[in-house]
Amino acid sequence: MTYSYYIAAGSNIHPRREYINRAVSALTRHGRIAGESPLYRSAAYGVREQAEFLNAVLEWHSDLPPLEALALLKRIEKETGRRESFRWGPREIDLDIIDYNGREWHDEQLTIPHADFENRLFVLYPLRDVAPDYRNRRGQTLTRLIENCSDRGEISLYTPEAYVP
């Protein structure tokens, strides 16, 4: 069976774009990227006193079932350079399964759909770019989810900084 996952990727430690690019490259070795949002800049979520994040959402097709996909994402995070931090702390790379084309999944290791994605504009905006017709498990559109989102942090499309030699 081929699974279609929506994966959120984020980084707020320099070089942010490079960490995300390396993670995307690693995912292509284990499946196919069917869609990739532009990068968004957003304020940190949870612990606000830290550098802003770059965020994206990918549609990734793979033969890996959910727990194997999660194990792969954790391995890619480690190989990409993620170091241990506190909850909602700075991250070189963060990869989360947001949803997939299977049944809901709830256990101590993994929850699909992601338990809090509907409260995160930095997931909803790029998800809308990748899957504009997405509806959550209750049938709500992304437009509705964005309108009802409790996260009111700053978010904008990322424009690469000007190169300074």
Q: Quick check: is 76 in a domain?
A: yes
Two structure tokens written together for 97: 């399964």
Q: Quick check: is 34 in a domain?
A: yes
Q: Quick check: is 144 in a domain?
A: yes
CB under 8 Å, gap of 24 or more: what pairs does 77-83 form? 77/23, 79/26, 80/19, 80/22, 80/23, 80/26, 81/19, 81/22
pLDDT digits (tens, 9 = 90+) for 15-57: 999 999 999 999 999 999 999 999 999 999 877 789 999 999 9
Mean pLDDT of the chain: 94
- The number of domains in the chain is 1
97 sits in which H/E element: strand 94-100
Q: Which SS3 state, helix, strand or coil, does residue 161 take?
A: coil
Q: Quick check: is 87 in a domain?
A: yes
Residues tagged active-site: 82, 91, 94, 96
Residue type, 42: S
CB 58 within 8 A of CB 36: yes
Q: Quick check: is 117 in a domain?
A: yes
Q: What is d(CA 45, CA 65) in angstroms, rounded to the nearest whole number? A: 29
- Assign residue 101 the CATH number of its domain: 3.30.70.560
Q: What percent of the chain has pLDDT over 90?
A: 86
Tally the C-alpha atoms within 13 A of residue 110's C-alpha that lie toward its C-beta.
21
Q: Quick check: is 93 in a domain?
A: yes
Q: Quick check: is 8 in a domain?
A: yes
Per the structure, the complete domain to which residue 153 belongs is given by 3-157
Q: Quick check: is 164 in a domain?
A: no
